[in-house]
Amino acid sequence: MTSSTNLQASDLAGQLQALATQLGVSRWDLGASCSTDTSVQVDRGEAKQLKGAQRSSITVRAWNSDGLVGITSTSDLSSAGLARALAGAGEASRYGNPDDTPGFSPLATAPLAQLEQPISEPRGILELLGTLKLAEAELLSCHPAISTVPYNGLAQRNSQRLYLNSEGACREQQLSTASLYLYALAEEAGRKPRSSGAVRLAYGAEQLDVAGCVEEAAERTIKHLDYAPITTGRYTCVFSPEAFLDLIGAFSGLFNARAVLDGVSLSQRDSLGSQLAVPFLSIHDNGLHPGNIGAASFDGEGTPVARLPLLEGGILRHFLHSEATARAFGVAPTGHAGLGAKVSVGPHWFEIGPAGSSDEQTGARGLDRFSQEGIVWIDSLSALHAGVKASQGSFSLPFDGWLIQGGEARSIEAATVAGDIRAVLKGLVGFEGEAKVTPDGVCPLVWVDGLSITGNA
């Protein structure tokens, strides 16, 4: 990280305290992030886009004597810029909402988990370009039908996060990450274009599994070339880990205390302890999982991130909390807050799988999607922003996948899967295979009975 984006937390805390004393602000906090980003894209062997950027963002909150809070944002890290932000927050507190008064997290000075996150030196942009060109060429050579790789990117980031407050909280985390994305398009004469892709994440560009990304993108794309329509009806569906994690993420309001308090969640304040799913399903939010590249050790309010059971044995055990929602529920914050004009609450990284090891706990055993007829294997879901009604529980989503008949999987031409998340959670048949680590969480293949598939046959 260059010196222009590197912040010293202790120095900044002292500087802010001095400015706050001058301005008569006795209670304040600050969340900051800065990063150096480099990314490349290619198009048939030529550079399509080369980008480099340094970004910084600071959010400052100030409380007045009436307990009302004001907030400002800035990217100016100079002393004058910080003074203006603090003064602006103090002025804005005069107009603070008395019905929404966030405070300091009681855990903002609690010990943090130690994460193994090696810092990698950034690679030169021309080196990134060369790596991506080779990856694109290898993917194009995998099959004659693969004509282009229209969506691709190789990016690296060195970043730093801070949280400070006037009661002595001083959080700091540095991180380096890299990502590779390859999305191939295959075309055959007289047939519709087919596409699929793969993603890889690592702590540095040199650690990215480029060959694995190429192989997965090619395999998934080629498997969609031989397609056929599917008859509309109800099917047993097998969700890939990525697809099921996307579905749970779209309905994460089930576990979100902010959504509960705002009346936009399917859960209620008294839902804790209720049976939400089949008794062999467990879901944890575990931002600290070793597979979570880019894990944060603390949230926007400085609360430590920890593994939190959401569903255990199908029973709703906890909600995700910020300081304010935790205070409303009379519990401790869980480390899921985002600092902003209104403190948001959101998940980090899901662990989904069986609740235990015995047959009674884990549901169906020995499931094999190729051993049964008429199984729909859902590989990826699309249009989650439009096809999910999170506050109602319903979804209708286009998907890419295969229909399994006679032990063979044939790609489905075009179809949507529809249902209700509550019925999905209670209609799980079981799990297949080992859990897979993905960018959004860890999950095995998930079997769900009786979902509605609309095709064009």
Q: How confident is the model at residue 287 (pLDDT cuts 50, 70, 90)?
A: very high
* pLDDT above 80: residue 453: yes
Mean pLDDT throughout 278-292? 97
Query: What percent of the chain has a predicted confidence (pLDDT) above 90?
Result: 92
* pLDDT at 360 exceeding the cut of 60: no
pLDDT of residue 6: 55
pLDDT band of 78, cuts 50, 70, 90: confident
**Which amino acid appears at position 286 of this protein?**
N
Tens digits of per-residue pLDDT, 273-284?
A: 999 999 999 999
pLDDT above 80 for 1: no
**Average pLDDT rounded to a whole number, residues 421-432:** 96
Mean pLDDT of 15-19: 94
Q: Is 63 exposed, middle or buried (0-12, 13-18, 19+ CB in 10 A)?
A: buried
Q: How far is CA 17 from CA 99, 164, 241, 330, 364, in A?
A: 27, 10, 47, 31, 59
Sign of CA dihedral 131, 132, 133, 138: positive
**pLDDT at residue number 254:** 97
* Residue 174 clears pLDDT 50, i.e. is over it: yes
| Token pair in block for residue 138 | 């290898």
Burial (Cβ within 10 Å: 0-12, 13-18, ≥19) of residue 223? middle
pLDDT of res. 355: 81
Mean pLDDT of the chain: 94
pLDDT tens across 128-157, in order?
A: 999 999 999 999 999 999 999 999 999 999
Determine the residue type at 423: A
Give the pLDDT confidence score for residue 456 in this predicted structure: 83
Does residue 4 surpass a pLDDT of 50?
Answer: no
Please name each of the domains of the chain with its CATH number.
9-220 (3.30.2290.10), 227-247+364-454 (no CATH), 260-361 (no CATH)
Res 361 pLDDT > 80: no
Question: pLDDT value at position 2?
Answer: 37
List pLDDT tens digits, range 345-354.
999 999 999 9
pTM comes to 0.93
| pLDDT higher than 60, residue 358 | no
